Each structure stands twice: as C-alpha cells, then as structure tokens.
Structure 1
Amino acid sequence: MSDTHLVKILSTGAYLPGDPLDNAALEKLGGPLPDDVLAGIQVKTRHWMVDPATGEHLTTTSRMAESAARQALDRAGLEPGDVDLLVVSTASPEHLLPNVATTVQHYLGLERCAAIEVRAGCAGAVQALDIARRQLADGTARTALVIGSESISPLLAPIYLGKDPQSVRMRDRLTLYTFGDGAGAVLLRAEPTGEAAGVQGEFAFVNDCMGGLRKPGMQIIGGGTDVAQAEQHRRKRLLEMKIDVPGTSTFGPKVFVTAIHDLLRRSGWSLDEVDALVLPEGNAEYFSSEFEEAGLSAADYETLQGRIVENLTEVGATGSAAVPLSLDAGWVSGRIRPGQRLFLLGIEASRYVYTGLSVTWHAQAPRAA
C-alpha cells in the first residue's frame, strides 16, 4: 500500500538532569585521566541522574523522557492529548515490565495511546523514529512522540563510591569520564495528501548489525536472566558495564563508513547534498581518526568535517538519548534550518549496530524560552 500521508518533524525537546559535572569534579571522585586520553574522548561535562557524592537517584529514565516530551510539545503548541503514538528507546528502563513507553504515557496523563518500547542503546532512537514515521505515513497514527532516554550513571557510581579515587582502575575511569544521562524527544505529525507521499531521499532508512560473529563491543551484565539471581548477587557488582575499547576503536569506524555509504545509496543523495550529519561522537578522536583507514576518502572526510552536528563535549555519550539530544542542540542553535537535508546516524557498539535516517527539515527555529 502506498503511503498517503506526508510526515514532518514539528519540534524537538531535551532534558539533562542536575548540574553539569565537569572533569575537575569527576577527578575528585574517581581519579584523573591522562591529558591525551581526555583530549581523545573530548567530553568536558556530563549530566548524571544520580547524586555524584552519594549515588542517590534524583530522577528516573521515564521522568527524563516525560520532561523532554513536554518541551517538544510546548514548542509545537500541542498538548499531550494530541499524541496517539509513543515510541521510546532506552537500554536503562526502571523495570523489565511494564514497558517504559507505557510509563511515559502514564506520566503524560494519556489514558489511551499506542506505546512501543525499543530496547537499545545509541542506535535505538533512529530505529524508533522509523517505526513512528511508518505508522504515521500509512495513517495508523497522526501525531507521534519519539523519545530516547538513558540513565547510565547508576552503573558508574558504584565504580568509585566508598573508594580512594586513586584506587579506581584506569579502564574504569575511562568509562566514568565518557558517559552521561539525559533524554531527547522528537515530535512528528502526518497530514493526508490523497496521493503517494514518499519521495527519494525523504525518510530513507538503513539498519544493520555488523557484529553478529564478533565479541560484543559493549555489554551491561546483571539484572537479567543469564544465571540464577543467587549467582548474580555473588558478583563483584550487581550491574556492570564492560567495554571492549580496542575493538570499538578499530571496528567502530568501519561500521560508520559502511553506514554512510549505505545511507547515501538508499537516499539517492550525494555527500555534497547532505547539509548536516547528526552523528553523536562523530568528532571524538578515538573514533574519527580511523575513518580514512576504514574506507572513507580524504575528500569525503573533509566534506564531513563542516557538517557533523554533535554535542559530545557538553553531555558525554548518552546512549538512546544521543541522536535526539544532538538533533535538538543543532536545531535550537540554528545549525539545523528549514530546507536542509539531514542524515541521522546512530552507531551502537553492543553488537556493532548502525541505523540511519535521511530527513528534510521543515521546522522553524523555536522561540526563546
């Protein structure tokens, strides 16, 4: 069946918990990182949903999602009751059930709406956007909120709480300094056209997992059903994040280059026609320095440098929230403007998943609060 509705992004919203936590404050908690390592990850501040001093939770994944959603609705002049589809991506829900989208639905005061959870990290928000735009395009729903929300700091605080900062292992410090929490929302609406609405390049979607036979680049272990609960409680940490730093730094760029080529082919656009590439972590030295070796020409690499939209320095790596937070920052700052062609690209290290969506931007910049 041909799409008969034109789908547009109306607005975005963002929420970052607490005050910015800078590197000097983090050094007092978990010890220092060498200057060259700090320069490589490029994160200067991040926001945590826990109290850094005590580990106490100050908010939740769903509450952050609610706040980002309400900002997106306010900017578009809509009410929660206008929403008939919620798609929420996270790797850090409060509970295994009910799904996090239904919890956000509850907080927004919606008695009824479609509510879908995507359990994913960095790639999830773009997957969620595609799920929503397909249901809007075929008339299943009219107004959708897509939200990426992540609470990573609860995994980080146990690394240093109750310990001498100098005793924290260097690889754990790298994790501490890299990640942050937050939520980003994207509001979409469909209008009937009476005829096929799809055009080449508009909402072209790509999605692939390149690491099916590889060691995971990232794992969060604990709280699942891998072993008996009694055995889980005997582990050093009930929940633990493990990162294959050598693997992600060498294979991650290959995933990125493959994703870019795939999205260019699928959209029919040339790289010169892409005005902005929303790519969280796109300028991080440990990631971008390997692009050319992974198959991106020097000329294409130079073309990308002026087009990458990201806010890693201010918020850190934020999982499912990364793409919508970067998109929001680009739109609010005026970097993303009506008529521009965008690539939204998420790269997830867990099993080396990439997901991308091409978008033609329509929304005018939001009025200052």
Structure 2
Amino acid sequence: MSSGAASPVAHLVGAGSALPGAPVDNGTLAGLIGASASWIDDFTGTRTRHFATDLKTGAATHALVDLCHEAAEAAIADAGIEPGEVGFVVLSTATPDHLMPATVNLVADRLGIGHVPTYQLQSGCVGAIQALDLACRILRDPETDGSCATGLVIGADVCNKHLLLDRDFARVPPRELVNYMLFGDGAGAAVVSREPWGHRTAIRRVLNRFVGLGQSPGQVIEWFGLADRLDERPAAQEDYKAIEENVPRLAEEILCELADDLAWDLDRVEYVLPPQLSGRMTELIVDRIALPAREVSCVAATGNNGNALPFLQLGRLLPQLRDGERALCAAVESSKWLKGGLALEKTAIG
C-alpha cells in the first residue's frame, strides 16, 4: 500500500453468543442465598443470569473454552464463512480456564484454526473493547498480509467459579453476597474484516484508555495458587460506592469524546450501548446521558458476564442497524479504572 493510501476500515460482519444453561431468576437465586426475590430485583435491577455451574450440586457444567467455542461458531456462521477463513483470533477474559495453556489456543484448536496469530488479553469489562482495538490495528496495519484480512474476536467470562455455592449465606457479608446477584457467565464473539460484507458495520473509532492514575482499585479479583488458596481473602471484592459514583460520569465522557472525535451530533446517533454493570446501574447511566438514541442493553436478562457483555450488545444491535445509522458503545472497568468505547456506522451497499 502506498504511503498516501487511506488505512483499511475494520468492519463487524458477524456476531454470536453463548449463555450456559437455563436463566436463573431472582426467585431461584433468593432460595439459594436466603434473600428476598423482590429485594434482589429492587437492589440490582437484574432479573435473570446464567451460571456455568449446577446450582443443586455445585458442579461445573461449562468451562470457559466451551462457551467461547459456541459463541465463536455462532459468529462465524453469522458471517457466512468457514473457520479456515479466519486469519487471527483474539480473546479477552478475566477468568481463563488455566494460566497455561491460554484459553484462546484451546478455542482455536476446537475450531480447527491453525497456523494463525492468537492473542489473549487479561482484563474485565473493557477487555472486549481492548480486543476489538487490537483486531482493528491488525486489520489496518499496511504491513499485514492478506491472510489477516478477517479475524475472530471473543469476549467471555465464567465469573461463577469465584462464588462458592456450598456455604452458610447467613454469615456472608453483604459486600460478598451482592456478587451472587450481579454476576453471570457467558461468551460473545464477532467476526471482523477489512471488507464491508455481512452486517457491514464500520468501526469508525475505538477508545481504549487507562484513567485510574493514583486511584484505588474499584474491583479486585484474586488468583489463588496452591500456596495461598486457603487464604481468608475473598476471591472477588468491589467498592460499589466508588463504582456508583464514577461509572455514569465516565460513560458520559466516553460517548462525548467519541462523538467529538468524529464530529458526530449526539442527537443524531440512533443507538447507544451503555455500560452493563447491572440493570439498575444501566438505568442510572441512561438517565444521566439523556440521549434520544435507542438503548441496546442485555444485563438485566444475562447478568454481568464481564467480557461477554459488549459482544452480547453488539449481537442485538447489528441486525437492527440500517444503512447510514450510527451507534456509540461505552464500557467502563472499575478494576483500576479504564474506559473504552466504539463508534459504529452501517455502511451502504455500492
């Protein structure tokens, strides 16, 4: 490519998702943890979630690789291609099946995709944006050969592995109990391409930024090894007051920054994909940004399944977009305060 040529535009051309088992409603969850179903609904705004664990036995029903494989197959089918046409694979997750081998390579193996670059990113809710950012950079790199013109990007988490089901919930502190209400398991995937086919949705801008300089983490998820697995530290903990204070503000900043970068009028953006921490938090965010755009959310039905969420939203958005319509997606990660976003536009044929 000559130095004067424009960089290729990355396009979303297919999407897929995977949710384990039947949805677990608040009544079922209330019976497990000894809380009121109406209180769970009022506090979280999340009605159902999916667990990769049998609630009766505590046995795992799905590994991360299972969900990633299912979501990837769905995205590949939606794009109308064969696995062998995928030139690279990127996976973002906070809950890999192993430290090694990386889950992304297990997924590629199941799909029968070999001799391609693979990448695994360790992150939370913004990991999906980071993975798409990396994919866009690969597609736009003039040094990348034609074999990398189409890629597979996956975001997935099995959060339930950090939540013990066999315990006396009457003695569980509220700061830990809330995690059983908010989190779920799942995977989402997208096929990206240099060419506008399939869903023909151009990624006009990606925002991927660490903004937590000097701030305390809002979320910590531990990794216990053999030497410290009996430690009394909780596996996951959050500062919900800090999250409630910062996430709506950061979400508004993301949408405004994306629109400013592209000189887009926010009032003429057709769809908005807000952060998906919980059903109630999403309501607060949407109320704050107060855009005329149509909201695309899923967390009230799926629970907070981390890296999967933006892909689940994209899976709902892409079939709705018409030629020329625009969408803005925002994701906030409280671990050490990250913000990410996407500006999308459906390209016309011809």
Say yes or no: TM over 0.5: yes
Cα contact 2:18–2:68 (8 A) shared by 1: yes
Q: Provide the C-alpha distance between the structure 1 equivalents of 2:185 and 2:348, rounded to a whole number of angstroms.
A: 26
Q: 1:101 matched to which residue of 2?
A: 104
Residues 208 and 240 (structure 1), Cα distance of their counterparts in 2 relative to 1, 3 Å cut: same
Letter in 1 for 2:343: S
**Alignment partner of 2:131 out of 128, 132, 147:** 128
Letter in 2 for 1:168: V
Q: Provide the C-alpha distance between the structure 1 equivalents of 2:110 and 2:101, rounded to a whole number of angstroms.
A: 13
**Alignment partner of 1:308 out of 292, 295, 301:** 295
Residues 283 and 317 (structure 1), Cα distance of their counterparts in 2 relative to 1, 3 Å cut: closer
Letter in 1 for 2:301: E
Q: Provide the C-alpha distance between the structure 2 equivalents of 1:17 and 1:89, rounded to a whole number of angstroms.
A: 18
Q: 2:327 matched to which residue of 1?
A: 342
**Alignment partner of 2:120 out of 100, 117, 120:** 117
Say whether residues 1:261 and 2:228 are aligned partners: no
Q: 1:62 matched to which residue of 2?
A: 65
Q: 1:161 matched to which residue of 2?
A: 166
Q: 1:324 matched to which residue of 2?
A: 311
Decide which moves more: 215-224 or 34-43. 34-43
Decide which moves more: 343-352 or 255-264. 255-264
Residues 307 and 190 (structure 1), Cα distance of their counterparts in 2 relative to 1, 3 Å cut: same
Point out where structure 2 has 5 or more consecutive residues left out of the alignment.
Answer: 197-201
Return the offset for 1:190: 1.4
Q: Provide the C-alpha distance between the structure 1 equivalents of 2:154 and 2:323, rounded to a whole number of angstroms.
A: 22
Q: 1:195 matched to which residue of 2?
A: none
Deviation above 6 Å: which 4+ runs of structure 1?
A: none
- Seq. identity, %: 29
Letter in 2 for 1:177: M
Residues 362 and 31 (structure 1), Cα distance of their counterparts in 2 relative to 1, 3 Å cut: farther
Q: Provide the C-alpha distance between the structure 2 equivalents of 1:236 and 1:110, rounded to a whole number of angstroms.
A: 42
Residue 318 of structure 2: SS of its match in structure 1? Answer: helix
Residue 203 of structure 1: SS of its match in structure 2? Answer: strand
CA deviations 1:45-101 (Å, max 9, x no partner) are: 111111122221112112211111111111222110000111110000011122222
Cα contact 1:263–1:357 (8 A) shared by 2: yes
Q: 1:14 matched to which residue of 2?
A: 17
Return the offset for 1:362: 4.6
**Alignment partner of 2:175 out of 141, 165, 171:** 171
Q: 1:196 matched to which residue of 2?
A: none
Cα contact 2:278–2:304 (8 A) shared by 1: no
Point out where structure 1 has 5 or more consecutive residues left out of the alignment.
Answer: 193-200, 365-369
Normalising to structure 2: TM-score of the pair?
0.88
Q: 2:199 matched to which residue of 1?
A: none
Residues 330 and 359 (structure 1), Cα distance of their counterparts in 2 relative to 1, 3 Å cut: closer
